[in-house]
C-alpha cells in the first residue's frame, strides 16, 4: 500500500516537473519573440536600400500612378531598371500606393510598404515550428541575414513562406500541384526560383507518370499566364531583355566566386578579363545537366529524400556557380537548409556539427555588409556600387537609405562617435582600405558552406536505405 502511495507521489512529482519545464521553455520562447519583435519594429520603418528602391519608386511614379503599369517593360530608358517579374512590381506599387494614401509620414509609409516582409518573416517562423519543431524556428530567427533583408527591402522574404510550404507539400505530402502553384507564384516575384520546378519533372518522368506530369505542367502554366501574359504581350522583347538578359549582363558581385578577381583588384572592373563575367552560365548549364543525368541514373528507394536531395543540389549549384549571389537570396534558401537539418536530426553528433557550421557560416556571410558598407562609411571613404560601376560618397549613400530624420540622426550619431574616437577611427580606416580581402574570405566561406551542404545532401539523403 505504501509503495503504491509512493509511486503515485512520484507520478505527480514527474508531472509537476514536466509542467514546470514546459512553462520555462514557453516563457523563454515568448521572451525571444518579444526581443525579435522589438528588433523588427525598429528595422522595418528605419529605411530601405539606396540602389533598388530608387527604381521601385520610379515604377510607381511613371507607370502605376498614370495607370500604365502593364507598359512597364516597354521603356527604352537605359537608366530605368525593371529586372523583376510582374508580381514583384505589383506588390511594391500597390503597397506603396496604399502607404502614401493612408499616411504622409515617411516612417509609416515605409512600414506599410514593407508589411509583406514582416508577414513573410513571422509566417515562415510559424510554419517551421509547426512542421519541424522549435529548433527549426530558432535557427530561422537567429540568422542575421533575415534582419538585413527587412531593413534594406528585398522581395526574397515575401516568397520564403511560399517556397517553404511548397517544399513541405512536395516532400511530405507528394502534392505536385500545390507545389507547382506556390513555386510558380514565387518565380513571378524572383525568377531564379523557377529552377525548383525541375525536381518534380525529373521524378514524374522517372516514374513514367505522364498523366500527372502533364497536369503539373498545365497547372504551372495556368498559374503563370494570368499574371505574366498581360505584361509580356505589351512588348515581348522588352520583357525578355529586362527580366532575363539584364541579369546576363550584370557584373559578378557579392558572394559569387566570380567576384573574387574584382575584389582582388579593388573594384577596378575594367582590368579584369570579361571571361569572369560570362563563363558562369556554361559552367552552370554543364553542372545542371550532370545533376539531371545523375538523378536519372540513381535508384529511388525514398522519394522524399530523393526530391529534397536534388532540390539542394540544384539550388546549391546555383549559389556556387552563379555570378550574382546576393546575401538576400538566403532568405528563401534558409528553410531548405533547415529542412535538411530536420532530416538528419537522428544522428545527434552530425546534427550538432551541422548547426555549429550553420551558425559559423552565416555569422561570416552576414558580416558582408559590415565590411563592404559600414567600414567605408565610418572611414569616410566612397562606396562602390557594382550595378552602376561607380563610386558614391559614403554620407550621401548612408543618409539616402534612412527612413526619416530621426533614424538618420540616431544612426549618424554612432558614425560620428566612432569617427571622433581616434583608435576606432584608425581601426575602421584600416578595415576600409583592406575590406576587399575580407570579402574574398567571406566568399570562400560561403562557397565552402554550399559545397558542404551538397555533400550532406548526397551522404544523408541517399536513396538507398541506410542506418543513421
* Residues 254 and 238 placed together within one structural domain of the fold: no
Final residue before a domain boundary, out of 246, 281, 299: 246
* Of 363, 382, 385, 362, residue with least CA distance to 450: 362
* Residues 425 and 288 placed together within one structural domain of the fold: yes
List C-alpha distances in Å: 296 to 204, 256, 288, 451. 11, 29, 13, 22
pLDDT of residue 459: 86
pLDDT for 67-101, tens place per residue?
Answer: 999 999 998 887 888 989 999 999 999 999 999 99
Structural domain total, the chain: 2
Q: What Rg do the C-alpha atoms of the chain give, in angstroms?
A: 24
pLDDT of residue 385: 80
Instruction: Give the cell for residue 28.
Output: 523563454
* Residues 235 and 319 placed together within one structural domain of the fold: no
The pTM of the full predicted model, rounded to 2 decimals, is: 0.88
CA 131 to chain centre: 20
Distance CA 199, CA 201 (A): 5
Q: What phi, psi does 47 have (nearest 5°)?
A: 155, -165
Q: At what angle do helices 280-297 and 303-321 cross, to 10 degrees?
A: 170
pLDDT for 180-204, tens place per residue?
Answer: 999 999 999 999 999 999 999 999 9
* Residues 416 and 457 placed together within one structural domain of the fold: yes
* Residues 241 and 259 placed together within one structural domain of the fold: no
* Residues 173 and 261 placed together within one structural domain of the fold: no
* Residues 98 and 212 placed together within one structural domain of the fold: yes
* Residues 177 and 309 placed together within one structural domain of the fold: no
* Residues 177 and 314 placed together within one structural domain of the fold: no
* Residues 224 and 333 placed together within one structural domain of the fold: no
% of the chain surpassing 70 pLDDT: 88
Final residue before a domain boundary, out of 218, 246, 274: 246
* Residues 168 and 310 placed together within one structural domain of the fold: no
Walk along the chain (468 residues) in steps of 10 and give the mean pLDDT of each run.
Answer: 51 47 60 87 81 88 92 87 93 94 88 93 93 89 90 91 95 93 96 94 91 95 95 91 84 91 86 84 94 90 89 95 92 90 72 85 90 86 80 72 56 76 87 92 95 90 55
Final residue before a domain boundary, out of 246, 265, 280: 246
CB within 8 Å of 106: residues ≥ 6 apart: 403, 404
Domain that holds residue 175: 1-246
* Residues 241 and 381 placed together within one structural domain of the fold: no
Amino acid at each position: 500500500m505504501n509503495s503504491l502511495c509512493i509511486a503515485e507521489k512520484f507520478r505527480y512529482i514527474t508531472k509537476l516537473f514536466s509542467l514546470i519545464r514546459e512553462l520555462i521553455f514557453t516563457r523563454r520562447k515568448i521572451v525571444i519573440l518579444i526581443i525579435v519583435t522589438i528588433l523588427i519594429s525598429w528595422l522595418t520603418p528605419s529605411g530601405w536600400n539606396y540602389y533598388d528602391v530608387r527604381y521601385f519608386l520610379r515604377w510607381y511614379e511613371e507607370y502605376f500612378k498614370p495607370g500604365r503599369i502593364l507598359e512597364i517593360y516597354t521603356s527604352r530608358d537605359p537608366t530605368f531598371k525593371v529586372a523583376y517579374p510582374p508580381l514583384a512590381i505589383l506588390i511594391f506599387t500597390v503597397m506603396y500606393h496604399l502607404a502614401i494614401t493612408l499616411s504622409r509620414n515617411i516612417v509609416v509609409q515605409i512600414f506599410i510598404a514593407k508589411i509583406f516582409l514582416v508577414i513573410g518573416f513571422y509566417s515562415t517562423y510559424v510554419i517551421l515550428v509547426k512542421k519541424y519543431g522549435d529548433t527549426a524556428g530558432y535557427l530561422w530567427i537567429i540568422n542575421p541575414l533575415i534582419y538585413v533583408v527587412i531593413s534594406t527591402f528585398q522581395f526574397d522574404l515575401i516568397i520564403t513562406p511560399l517556397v517553404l510550404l511548397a517544399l513541405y507539400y512536395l516532400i511530405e505530402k507528394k502534392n505536385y500541384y500545390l507545389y507547382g502553384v506556390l513555386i510558380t507564384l514565387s518565380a513571378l516575384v524572383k525568377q531564379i526560383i523557377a529552377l525548383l520546378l525541375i525536381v518534380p519533372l525529373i521524378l514524374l518522368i522517372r516514374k513514367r507518370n505522364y498523366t500527372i506530369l502533364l497536369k503539373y505542367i498545365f497547372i504551372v502554366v495556368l498559374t503563370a499566364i494570368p499574371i505574366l501574359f498581360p505584361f509580356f504581350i505589351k512588348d515581348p522583347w522588352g520583357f525578355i531583355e529586362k527580366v532575363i538578359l539584364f541579369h546576363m549582363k550584370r557584373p559578378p558581385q557579392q558572394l559569387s566566386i566570380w567576384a573574387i578577381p574584382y575584389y582582388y583588384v579593388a573594384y577596378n572592373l575594367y582590368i579584369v578579363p570579361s571571361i569572369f563575367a560570362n563563363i558562369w552560365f556554361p559552367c552552370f548549364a554543364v553542372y545542371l545537366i550532370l545533376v539531371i543525368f545523375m538523378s536519372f541514373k540513381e535508384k529511388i528507394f525514398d522519394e522524399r529524400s530523393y526530391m529534397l536531395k536534388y532540390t539542394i543540389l540544384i539550388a546549391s549549384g546555383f549559389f556556387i556557380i552563379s555570378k550574382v549571389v546576393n546575401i538576400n537570396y538566403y532568405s528563401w534558401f534558409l528553410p531548405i537548409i533547415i529542412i535538411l537539418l530536420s532530416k538528419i536530426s537522428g544522428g545527434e553528433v552530425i546534427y550538432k556539427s551541422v548547426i555549429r557550421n550553420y551558425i559559423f557560416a552565416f555569422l561570416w556571410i552576414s558580416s558582408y555588409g559590415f565590411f563592404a558598407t559600414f567600414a567605408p562609411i565610418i572611414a569616410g571613404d566612397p562606396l562602390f556600387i557594382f550595378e552602376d560601376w561607380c563610386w558614391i560618397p559614403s554620407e550621401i549613400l548612408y543618409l539616402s537609405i534612412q527612413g526619416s530624420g530621426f533614424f538618420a540622426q540616431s544612426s549618424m550619431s554612432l558614425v560620428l562617435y566612432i569617427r571622433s574616437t581616434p583608435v576606432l577611427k584608425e581601426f575602421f580606416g584600416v578595415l576600409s582600405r583592406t575590406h576587399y580581402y575580407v570579402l574574398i574570405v567571406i566568399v570562400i566561406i560561403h562557397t565552402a558552406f554550399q559545397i558542404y551542404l551538397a555533400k550532406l545532401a548526397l551522404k544523408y539523403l541517399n536513396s538507398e536505405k541506410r542506418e543513421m
